[in-house]
Amino acid sequence: MTSPPLLHIACASGFSGDRYDGALDLVQELIQRGGGYLIFETLAERTLALAQLAYDQDPSQGYEPLLNNMLEPVLSLCLQHGIRIVSNFGAANPAGAAAAIEQLCLQLGLRCPRIAIVYGDKLHSVEQRQLLRQRLDTDIEQLEILSANAYIGATEIAAALQAGADIVVAGRVADPSLTVGPAMAHFQWSWQDWQRLARATMAGHLLECGTQVTGGYFAIPGLKEVSGLDRTGFPIATLDHDGNCWISKAPYTGGLISTRTVTEQLLYEVHDPAQYLTPDVIADISCAQLEQTAPDVVLLTGVQGHPRPDELKVNVCFHNGWLAEAEISYAGIQAKERALMAADIVCKRLPSELFIRVDLIGALSILNNDAGTLSYPETAPSQDIRLRLACSHHDHQLASRLLHEVGALYTCGPAGGGGVRTHLRRRISTLSCTIPRIDIQTGWYFYEPKETP
């Protein structure tokens, strides 16, 4: 029996708000390679809370706001060439995202694709909230909760693809699962094949941050040179039947893929290289090997896997008072001293119950903690300082006083301040825990088009 052909999965987004002009390069490259999958990773912890806020204000919203920008350049080509799309851009409203895709197809004169919707990550039942209360060891009823979501895995994505979905829309699935789902649908591995699951997971981990692995987050002029960052190519993972993967990009794009860029992304947000916990598998990269097989092509092998965790991670986002931020600039003679004087004036005029964080951007803005401990010693004076003051408090009126006091520095001294910018917004905080996966009911279904083109 012959093995299935190589699988190509391209990632066109690493977060909500990422560039969306790289998808066309990827799709054209996938067509040249004979097809594959296009994924968009658009969720972070706060992103989902903001999406839930948008949904609460308008139930037709709550999905990725740049959805049309992402899909319009490539949707026709994807449908024409059988390139299937998988994404968590459903955020707080996957069904709304599916409806938006349907409308986009109508506008472009395209057939409506078969769109699958993954559900189950939202935790809103009485039983689930009670379990969260126990696990978080806090009275969550006293919190103004915005969202509570579990990081679910790739099972539903794979099932939907096997059933013929052209596009799979999810909310809070784990980032690597966007790759594991297509791999499972393509290779038909067992869900207990921990080695291959782990290898597909780490391929997904390399893809999930977009151009971080193709040199974007790697670049430091004079130390780690990367060319063409104005047109950096997004990554493509090519998997074989055993789950080993090659990371590459479209050959005419900018950026860099080397063993160094891949190493940095491989270790990104991994708390323990021997036990990277995901909903699908526990991946072990302690014996992983990287090989530069061609320019801008790196092979990852040696990843091992262990049975998946019995529990899933949950994030609970909630309103936590108000965050006030204000900035003012000082330049020229004694710039730093004037900025420090301004900070001292504001701190003395505000109530002691307001803890004020002070940053001198241009001289020193890197602290170990909000108490102001320096992370490195000051070594040189600066002639250009941006003073940033920030505080948070549950009382809106009290927090807003910071903005007024910084604005008053224009004429109340010290001399020569300018460029005041102020901002006051609701603060979103996060609590995390794990709960048994048996207490989370997940599934998927096909979206029913409301109109036919």
Domains located in the chain, CATH noted = 7-132+149-310+440-446 (no CATH), 316-432 (3.30.70.1120)
Query: What integer pLDDT is reported at residue 382 of this predicted model?
Result: 63
Contacts with 199 (C-beta within 8 Å, 6 or more apart), sequence order: 239, 242, 243, 244, 245, 300, 303, 305
Q: How many CB atoms lie within 10 A of CB 61?
A: 18
Higher per-residue confidence, 266 vs 140: 266
Q: Does the pLDDT at position 435 exceed 60?
A: yes
Q: Does the pLDDT at position 61 exceed 90?
A: yes
Q: Reduce the DSSP state of residue 284 to 3 states and report it.
A: strand
Q: What is the pTM of this model?
A: 0.91
Q: Does the pLDDT at position 450 exceed 90?
A: no
What is the rounded distance in angstroms from the CA atom of residue 389 to the CA atom of residue 435?
39
Query: What integer pLDDT is reported at residue 137 of this predicted model?
Result: 81
pLDDT per residue as tens digits for the range 81-118:
999 999 999 999 999 999 999 999 999 999 999 999 99
Kindly indicate the confidence band of residue 453, based on its pLDDT and cuts at 50, 70 and 90: very low
Element housing 440 (H / E)? none
Q: Residue range 388-413: average pLDDT?
A: 96
Query: What integer pLDDT is reported at residue 384 of this predicted model?
Result: 85
Q: In this prediction, what percent of the chain has a pLDDT beyond 90? A: 86
Kindly indicate the confidence band of residue 45, based on its pLDDT and cuts at 50, 70 and 90: confident
Query: What integer pLDDT is reported at residue 141 of this predicted model?
Result: 77
Kindly indicate the confidence band of residue 44, based on its pLDDT and cuts at 50, 70 and 90: confident
Q: Residue range 56-75: average pLDDT?
A: 96
Q: Does the pLDDT at position 17 exceed 80?
A: yes
Locus of tokens 């060319």? 227
Query: What integer pLDDT is reported at residue 376 of this predicted model?
Result: 53
pLDDT per residue as tens digits for the range 292-329:
999 999 999 999 999 999 999 999 999 999 999 999 99
Q: Reduce the DSSP state of residue 224 to 3 states and report it.
A: strand
pLDDT per residue as tens digits for the range 335-366:
889 999 999 999 999 999 999 999 988 765 55
Q: Residue range 10-36: average pLDDT?
A: 96
Q: Residue range 401-408: average pLDDT?
A: 97
Judge contact between 61 and 54, C-beta under 8 A: yes
pLDDT per residue as tens digits for the range 236-257:
999 999 999 999 999 999 999 9
Give the phi and the psi of residue 108 in degrees, each rounded to 5.
-90, 0
Q: Residue range 164-171: average pLDDT?
A: 98
Query: What integer pLDDT is reported at residue 379 of this predicted model?
Result: 55
> CA dist 166 to 14, 115, 203, 310, 425, Å?
21, 6, 22, 31, 39
DSSP state of 223: T
> CA dist 193 to 40, 199, 200, 202, 241, Å?
26, 10, 11, 15, 12
Query: What integer pLDDT is reported at residue 140 of this predicted model?
Result: 78
Q: Residue range 361-374: average pLDDT?
A: 65
